[in-house]
A = this chain, B = another copy of it.
Amino acid sequence: MIHTHQTAPTQYVEANGIRFAYRRFGKAGGVPIVFNQHFTGTMEHWDPAVTDGFAKDREVILFNNAGVSSSSGEVPTTFEEMGANAIAFIKALGLTQVDVLGFSIGGFIAQEIALQAPDLVKRLVLVGTGPRGGEGVATLTPEAQKIFGATYDDPDHLWLRVHFTHSEKSQVAGREFLKRFRLRSENRDPEVNGKVAPAQIEAIVKWGAPQENPFEYLKSIRQPTLVVNGGKDVIIYSVNSFILQQHLPNAQLILYPDANHGSPYQHPELFVKHVSLFLGA
C-alpha cells in the first residue's frame, strides 16, 4: 500500500531516551526530507497539499520532537537541545543524509541540525523563520502576542490569523487549508500538553536574545539553503528571511506576495514546485 499524509501510520523509534513518534511516506530511494514543525504544532499541522506534493517525488518524514504530542519526554528550553534530539531521531532511523525543512521555530531547529551535524544534512529549507537575534524574535512580535493571546470560537481559527493575511484572498486560502488540515480522520496526533508552549517560548526568548555579531554563526552553515516566507509575516518578520539570505553562504530567497507566516499553505503547489526545483526534482 502506498501511504499518504492521510493514511501513513504513526510509528515510533527510541533515541536519547525519547520515544519519537513519526510518519514516513512517499517515494523512497532518494534523500528523504525531514519536516520540523512550528510552535505548539504536531504532525497534524502540516498541510497535506504540501507533504503529499513532495511525496510524489521523494520520501517525506514527519515527526514530533521530544515532549510534543505523541512523542515522549520533555520539551527542552533551548533549540540547541531540540536540534540534538532531532539529530538523534534522524540517526535512529538509520539515515546518513537527509534534506531538512524547518518551519518557524522548526527553522531554528533545522539550523541547529545543520550546525551540529553538518554531514547529515544535504540541503536546508527554512520557512517563515529567522536567525539568532532576529528582529522581533526575543519578545515575540506584538502581532504574535496578540494573535496567540486571543481566544477563538473554533480553536482552529487561530491558524487563520497566524498563517494568513487579512486580505480576502488569503483568508479564503486559509479556510481551504483548515479543511485539508482536518482531512486525516484516523489516528490523529493529540494536541500538545500545557507544558509545551512555555518551554518553547523560553527557548525562543534565548534564541532571539540580542548579541554581538548575531549573524556570524550563519557562515558555518555551508549547505545550499532555500529561505521561503510570505512578504508580510507578522509572526517572524519577513526581514529576518532577507537577513538569513544575506548572511548564509549559499542561500536562495523566495518571498510570496500577500502572504503571512504560512506562505506554503497559501500557495502549496507553487511552494512545492519552487522547493522541488531547489532540491532537484
Interface string of A240-258 (1 = CB under 8 A from B): 0010011011111111111
Q: How many residues of A contact B (CB 8 A)?
A: 22
Q: Hey, which chain B residues are within 8 Å of A277, CB to CB?
A: 270, 273-274
A255 touches B257 (CB 8 A): no
Instruction: Work out how many copies of this chain go into the complex.
Output: 2
Q: Which residues of the partner chain B approach A258 to less than 8 Å between Cβ atoms?
A: 249-250
Set B238, B250, B254: member contacting A257, Cβ < 8 A: B250
Q: Is A26 part of the contact surface with B, judged by Cβ < 8 Å?
A: no
Return the contact of A252 from the options B245, B246, B254 (Cβ within 8 A). B254
A231 to B248, alpha carbons, bound, how many Å? 10
Q: Which residues of B contact A253 (CB under 8 A)?
A: 231, 253-255
Known: A231-B245, A273-B277, A277-B270. A252 touches B255 (CB 8 A): yes
Cβ contacts under 8 Å, A245 to chain B: 231, 255, 257
Q: What's the least CB distance linking A118 to chain B, in Å?
A: 17
A254 & B251 in contact (Cβ 8 Å cutoff)? no
The A4-57 residues at the B interface (CB cut-off 8 A) are none
